[in-house]
Amino acid sequence: MLSKFIAKRIKELRLDRGWTQEVLAEASNLDESYIGKIERQVYDNLTVKTLEKIIIGLDVEFKEFFQFSQEDVTSLKLSTLISSDDDTQQLLEIMNLIIKYKHSS
């Protein structure tokens, strides 16, 4: 469930910049097909390290990246967010990434 919102946010920010997947891939030092798979949720095992590369590639603050739309926030409930051990681990890794970023600022 969490990967759905992250994939949507990546695509939203990319399109806001008028970027193609190729441009984002270059900026993130990732393969273009990988960006496409993430956005289409074909590849949902997104690591925190890869997410960090994408956020840096998008040139946004971590805080800005995690500002989901009101619609997403409304539909995102903790009980559905953490539906498996993998989701729990991914959420903890993202939280650690945010904490790391805050300490580096």
CB atoms within 10 A of CB 75: 13
Tokens standing for 58?
Answer: 């998008």
Looking at residue 32, its pLDDT comes to 94
How do the residues of the chain divide into helix, strand and coil, expressed in percent and rounded to 5? 70, 0, 30
The answer to whether 24 touches 55, Cβ cutoff 8 Å, is no
- Single-letter amino acid code for the residue at 30: L
Taking the model in full, what pTM does it have?
0.68
Confidence class for position 79, pLDDT limits 50, 70, 90: very low
Lowest-pLDDT range, 24-33, 44-53, 62-71?
62-71
pLDDT of residue 83 exceeding 50? yes
Distance CA 82, CA 79 (A): 6
Q: Give CA–CA dist 9/27, Å, rounded.
A: 16
Q: For the chain, what is the mean pLDDT?
A: 82
